[in-house]
Amino acid sequence: MTSGSYKGDVSPREAFERLQENDRSVLIDVRTDAEWAFVGVPAVERMARIPWQVFPTMERNEGFVDQVRAAGVPEDAEVFLLCRSGGRSAAAAAALTAAGFENCFNVAGGFEGDRDQHGHRNTVGGWRHDGLPWVQG
């Protein structure tokens, strides 16, 4: 299930379990400040909030890799990247891998999951749908 150059896609539940089992793993939430504030964030110990795109222009955050390094994430750590539904986090995982990070995984389904037949999120998949711990931003 590997996409691009990163290690592969994992489900939100698998990411959560691996974060619990491996004290050298970290979750990077790559969503925007607005999403963190209004939608919520995972409630895990080792997490960094580093946006892949900058709100409101949604231009790519050119300092992303440097900000991950500044957050103290080692290049050999197991890194799980999460966004709303898995698109931005896949791009971020590929960028980190290209920059020398060895174990980057995309959290497929993201925090809110894909849209259902009515256009709503949080009903088909994702961190919240799976009942994993989260808090309002």
- Closest by alpha carbon to 26, among 100, 76, 83, 92? 76
Give tens-digit pLDDT for 52-98.
999 899 999 999 999 999 999 999 999 999 999 989 999 999 999 99
Give tens-digit pLDDT for 36-57.
999 999 999 999 999 999 989 9
Q: Residue 99 class from Cβ within 10 Å (0-12 exposed, 13-18 middle, 19+ buried)?
A: middle
Distance CA 103, CA 86 (A): 17
Instruction: Classify residue 41: in a domain, yes or no.
Output: yes
CA atoms within 13 A on the CB side of 37: 5
Give tens-digit pLDDT for 94-133.
999 999 999 999 999 999 987 778 776 777 789 998 999 9
Evaluate if residue 9 carries a pLDDT over 70: yes
Q: Say what the pLDDT of residue 4 is.
A: 55
Domain of residue 12: give its range: 8-131
Instruction: Classify residue 47: in a domain, yes or no.
Output: yes
Instruction: Classify residue 137: in a domain, yes or no.
Output: no
Q: Which CATH number covers residue 50?
A: 3.40.250.10
Q: What's the domain count of the chain?
A: 1
Instruction: Classify residue 136: in a domain, yes or no.
Output: no
